[in-house]
Every structure is written in C-alpha cells, then in structure tokens.
Amino acid sequence: MNNLDNPTIFLREDYLAPNFAIDQVYLEFSLNPNKTIVKSTLHMRRLGPGSLVLKGEELELISIAVNQEDYRDFEVNSKELTVHHLPEVFDLEINCSNQPNINSSLMGLYVSNDNFFTQCEAEGFRKITYFLDQPDVLTKFTVKLNASKVDYPVLLSNGNLIEEGELNNGWHFAVWEDPFPKPSYLFALVAGKLEVLERQYITNSGSKKLLQIWVEKKDLSRTKHAMESLIHSIEWDEKRFGLELDLERFMIVAVGDFNMGAMENKGLNIFNTKYVLADQHTATDIDFANIESVVGHEYFHNWTGNRVTCRDWFQLSLKEGLTVFRDQEFSADLMGSDSGRTVKRIEDVRLLRQVQFPEDAGPMAHPIRPDSYQEINNFYTVTVYEKGAEVVRMLHTLLGETGFMKGMKLYFARHDGQAVTCDDFLACMADANQFDAKQFQYWYSQAGTPQVSIKEQYNEVAKTYTLQISQTCPPTPNQSVKAPFHIPLKTKLLVPGQASDEFLIELKETEQQVVLKNIQTKPILSINRDFSAPVILNFDQPENELLFLFDQDDNAFNRWEAIQKIASNNILNNIAPSDPLIEGYRKLMLDPTLDPAFKELCFTLPAETYLHEQLETVDPQIVHHAKVHYQNVLGVRLINEWENLYEANLIASPYSPNAVDAGKRALKNFALKMLLDSNLAKFEAIAFEQLKNCDNMTDFLAALTLLVHYESSFAAEALNLFYQRHQGNDLALDKWFAIQASKPPKQSGKIVQDIRKLKLHSDFKMRNPNRVRSVIHTFCMNNPAGFHDASGEGYEFWYDNVLELDGINPQVAARLARALDRWKKFDAPYQAIMHSQLEKLLTNPLSNDVKEVIQKALN
C-alpha cells in the first residue's frame, strides 16, 4: 500500500513502455466465495532489460514456475511480485488466491447476491492475480472457469465459448476464448444463477450474432428495453460509423452492487442494474432514456476503447470523451427530429455547466488529459467524460461531418489493435483533413473553462458591425498561465424581417476583432449557437434583446439559452419576472409548433449549483429563497395557463417511453409542480389523484416528489403507498429514498435528522453503492439548501459518512468527499465550518482515494 503521508504521484512524462510482452494468457479459476484459486500461465517475451514487476493486491501467493520448473528467484510484498533473471522467452505460471466474499471495494473479483462478478478498470485485475496490468499490455486471453454446478450454473467470460463440460464432485467448467488482444482492464467473468434474454442479429455483412442479457430470474421481464437499445446501438454504429460487431456473441450482465454505471469488457459488458432493468411501473422516462444511452455507450466502446485502447491512464479521455460524443449523437439521432436533437443538446449542456464547470473552477481541476495523478479512480470525472466529448464535438464543428468521418476512418485504419494516445487521435483528424491542430491541442493539455468576453459596436453611417472578442482562462492547480485556445463560435446576426446566414468565428487570439460590412441596421447577436464551444460567455445583452432571441432565434438551443440568462440574472439579483417576460412565457405555453419537451426545459429554472458559480461568494440560503420566490411568481401569475397546460398534456393512450410522450409527461408534471407551488391547498388533491390512478412510474414519481417536497397533507400516505407497492424492488426503493433525501427545507427547518433516520431504515444498505448514492450523495450533493444549513449539521453528516464509507468502498467515499471541495466559494459562516470538517477528516487514516480529494481541497 502507498505511504499515505507521502503518496506516489504518477506523471505522464514518466511513462515507460513495458519491458516484457505477454503474447498469450491462460487463466483457470476455481471459484469459491471464501477462497478462489487462480492459476495463470503467461507466454512472455522480454522487450528490455530488468526484472519483471507484476502488480498484485490482497492476494495470497501459492507458487511460481518458469517453464514448468519451480522458481524461487522472486520477491513479493502487498503491492508487487518481482521476478528476477528471466530468459528471453518463457512461460510463467503463477498460482494465487483471493477472497471474493470480503471484497467490499467491488474492484477485482467479488460476490453480490451469491453470484461472482468482476470489475477491472482501472486497476482491479491486480486483485485477481499478479499481472502487468497497465493498459498498453495487450494479450489474447483463454479462460477456464470451474465451479459448483448447483450454485453457479452459468459461467461467462470474454469472447467465444469454445468448450464446456462436467467435472467431479458436482462441479462443471466452461472455456472462453477472446480472439482479440486486449488489456487486462477489459477482462471479465460472471458466475451464478442467472436467466437470459436472447436475440439473433444479422449484421450488414450478413454475419449472424447472438445477443444476450443475463439477469437474476426475478428481473428477466424487465430486460426488453435494454435489448432493444442494444439492437439500436448496433444498427446505428453500422450506419453512422460503418463499424460492425466483431464477436460471435455480445453479452450484457446486470448486477445490483456496482461502483459505476457499466463496464465495456470485451464482449461481456457488466452493468449496474439501474441501466438495464425497466418497465413502465418501475422505471421513469428518464430511466428508459438513460438505459438507451448507457447501453449505447458501452457497446460503442467495442471500437473506441477496446479495438483501439489507451496507452496509459492519462489518455482516459481518448476512449471516454470520444465514446460519450458517440453516445450523445446516438441518443440525439434516435430522438427523430431537429427539436429532439436540441432537447438532447440542452440536457448535455446542463450537466456540463452544473457539474463540470464547477470542477474546472475548483481544486480538482485537471485537463481532459491530466499530467499527473495520485489515484486514477479519482480521474473518472465529468472533465474526462463530458468535457472530453465537447472537445471531440468542436473537432466535428471545425471539420464538418465529412471531414470528421475521414479522421475517424484514418484513426481505425492506423491504430486498430493498438494502445495509443490522445495525440494519435488528434493527428488522425489533422492528417485526414490538412488541419493544423497545434493550437487545438491546448484543449487536451490545459485545465479550466475559457471565458469569452464580447463587446459589440454598430456604425450606422458605415453600416458596419464590429465584434471585439477576447478570451481568458483563470489559473488552475499547477497551471497559472494559459495559452489561447482555438474556440469555434457558431454565430448569426438577427434582424427583424431579414434573412441571414450562420457563420463560424474561430477565436484563436487573446483578443480578436471581427468586422462585418453592409449591415443595414443594428443586429441582435446570436453566438455560440448549439453551444459550439464549452466556454463561459460574458456578454451583457439587455433583457429586451434576450427576449427577442427567446421569441425569434431560429436556433432552438439559443432560444433556451436566452431565457436561462434572463432567469439567472433575475434570480441572482432577486428581481421578479417583468411583464414582458411573463408574456414571453405565456406565448411559449401557447405555441403549438414547439415540442413539449423543449417547453419544459425552457420553464425549468437554472440549478442552484449553477447559480452558485455565477457569484464571487455564495450564501446558499439566499440563492435558494430567491429561486423559490421567482418560481412562485411564475406559478401565481400564470396559474390559469398552468392548469390548461396540465390538462392539454394528459395522455389517454397506453404508456410508451417514446420521446413525444415523454415530453408531454415532462411538461404536464412541470405544470403540476407550478400549480402546487402557487396554491398547495387547492391542487395537492390533483397530485394525489394522479399518483393513485396513473399507469406508469414517471407520473407516480413526479406526483410523489411534489407531495413530499411541498409537505402536502398527503405526503405520508403517498410515501407509504409507494413503499408497499415496491418493497423488495431495489431500484424502485432507491427512488423512494432519493425523494426524501432531496427534499429542500420548508417550514419544518433542518432535514439532517430526517436523513439520519433514512440511514437507520431496514432497507438502507451501506455496502450497496446505489443505495448510498440515493440517500447520502443525494443529500450532500443534490440538495444544496438542505445540506448547506448554517448550523453545519449537514457538514457533520458528510464527515461521518465519508469516514464510514472509506472503510468499505474508497471509490464511493471519494466521490462523496468532493461535496466540500468548493468550500472556498461560500460565505464565511459556511466556509469556516466546511474547512474545519475537512481538516478533521484529514486527521484520520484514509484511503489514497479520499486523501487526495481532501488534500487538494485544502490546498
């Protein structure tokens, strides 16, 4: 284990290629939850001088042999096995054991509900056996699984099933072979009592493929949507990117205990049940959409991540940023319309602004390709994923669809079967298009969110319109000075009654002037359309111009952007909506040409966490109450329209999660929220009736959330009804817990005591990441008004739970630890208490995962 007082810092510049190659690995598992024996036979070649250093953690070494002879020239400790004086070519046989039953970290081989599962990314394989587990060690795996047939009738691993049979004493075996070389982080095995949903799929080239989704028997009926999503993903990747499924079969397995959303292990994707199981009575429209997106994401990794993988973990965004871009495009294409694509784009940008922008401005800020890390698990971040996707999207904007696809084709032609870098990807885009990417590469190497400032001037005599554009990027840890970024800004000048074309401004300098001629009247500027660059735009447009953009802009994203800017400015200045703004909202309500989903997004006010980022110092209670007041005014002044909107979007047809119906439900339930906000006593009965009579979880959960959050007289009965209906369904109960943990404080004051009671509930499970996230993370990270109570009780709750979780699952604990990493942003009373809790936490023995977060927050 690393010395926690002087932790190892890994530097990108220190990368060394491995001094040994593993041409083939044969693994044999004797699966026992208390003690699993792993025999590995590695066919190896020397590539350079020195001893062979294999990583291994929480393992018991049994024996070592070289070329079938017992070997003693080695050293072993809690982190490494070092073997000396090895020949040029040899077979290394290692026997070791691990204890899956007590592996609460859920990394490596572990047991969940009496079944075996693995999670190897990033460094979990070293908890299975000793190995060169860096991602640039690619080898072909053959795996034999031995287990009790009664207890573990299903035995799965990567690739193709080549043999299975019976053993003595009621055991059986299965042998799996993966024909494609892969790094160990893509290894997977699953063993247990599972049922399967199967489909046959024929690719464009005529190849037959077997698609399988494996789940516990009780969950089999809820796998249809995941299977449909997998088929849509395969079809889309063939059509859009020309990429075909390359194995005989593709398998998905769902497990309830999982740190992540899912994992793209070659041909055997292991998923959190949250992103597989769905039906109308247990999953919301958002759940259905998320399943489609995550299934797509993991399948798309088959090429962008598996066939072409990362040379080292500093290159994580090579696969994740690119694959997030692909899954965003997949979901947008499946929306089926231009307005549907805009809805998807807005949802992606909201996540970026609410989570990634604060990360960019905080102590954990890092480039999408970091220069260093202490604990790699802490770099599975929205910066690597979502900002990484925005960087790929900017390349798409600059090169166009044709140019971008030329770059992708060159990328696969040049690097298929290799472990490469972000620079290699960017070089393919540049070489395929004669594109100078020298300045663009700063998006990979520099942290922080660029701020673009705009000043406009219209010369009525000369008929010129001048934009003075400048860019800056604030200092971030270890990067005080930044070079100018290459920033693509989609732009259009709008003049009432006149047509104009969109054009692209490529901002490359610190300051840049754009002069447009023959502009007959002063235009209204629509810039950064579709959020073409992930920047903060500083441009003081008056409300009347923003209202014009909201009403007239032909770019739907910028219509939404305009109303969000107005709402943000008003809330932060505690200004009630103006009469023209109320009329703008009313016109939006009545416009029959707009999708309900788009309307709902326009009505939804900016998140409090996003509003916090607009301020120098934050009093979270002031922001919360200003937003509540603003929303209440909208509710009261448009109450008749909200009633009409609720009635107009009721759906009489049977439930379907399609985009159109989902949009209607979202708008209807938002209208219901505004009705309760304006007059709880009058409208709470409508919400309770919806809850009792609806045929789907979306409407049920929306009504329940409103009744609980507005402290309705029906709240207790509604909560009990939900619990009785879904008792025993873990995913549904996660929702039940989360509704209560996200309840903002009302007249009853502090809610920390309520959160502590939730932890004592018989269905709360501290070892289950989903349940922990539904209660503890929801309260600490998604309930700012409740968490940031001036008494500091929320911070004390945070301290207790980070410490407790760190002893169980450091990854989950580290994500919770980040709830206080922006402590310097807050006003004095909050800041002082947060600081004291951070310092107190640091006095305890902590994992590397948590300690890195706390140390960076304090520094």
CA diameter of the chain:
96
DSSP line for 126-178:
GGTS-B--STT--BEEEEEEEEETTT--EEEESSEEEEEEE-GGGEEEEEEE-
Instruction: Name the packing angle between helices 543-552 and 556-572 (round to 10°).
Output: 150
Compute the distance between CA of residue 684 and CA of residue 714 in angstroms, rounded to an integer: 8
Number of other residues whose CB lies within 10 A of the CB of residue 795: 25
Q: How far is CA 347 from CA 289, 297, 342, 350, 627, in A?
A: 12, 16, 9, 5, 20
Assess whether 852 carries a catalytic annotation: no
SS3 723: helix
Compute the distance between CA of residue 261 and CA of residue 385 in angstroms, rounded to an integer: 13
- Gyration radius of the chain's alpha carbons: 28
Active-site entry in 298, 359, 613, 684: 298
Q: Which residues contact 23 (CB under 8 A, 6 or more apart)?
A: 43, 44, 45, 139, 140
Backbone angles phi, psi at 162, to 5 degrees: -110, -15
Compute the distance between CA of residue 358 and CA of residue 822 in angstroms, rounded to an integer: 8
Q: What angle do CA 127, 130, 132 make, to 5 degrees?
A: 105
Beta bridge partners of 571: none
Q: Which two tokens stand for residue 559?
A: 């219509």
How many distinct helices (H) and strands (E) make up the chain? Answer: 29, 31
Q: How far is CA 265 from CA 242, 251, 299, 318, 743, in A?
A: 21, 10, 10, 17, 38
Are residues 11 and 372 in contact, defined by beta-carbon separation less than 8 angstroms?
Answer: yes
Beta bridge partners of 176: 143, 161
- Terminal C-alpha separation, the chain: 24
Hey, what long-range contacts does 404-409 have (CB within 8 A, 24 or more apart)? Answer: 404/429, 405/241, 406/432, 406/433, 407/431, 407/432, 407/433, 408/241, 409/242
User: Is-cis flag, bond preceding 122, omega within 30?
Assistant: yes
Q: Are strands 268-272 and 249-255 parallel, antiparallel or unpaired?
A: parallel
Q: How far is CA 25 from CA 268, 416, 454, 636, in A?
A: 18, 21, 58, 68
Residues serving a catalytic function are 298
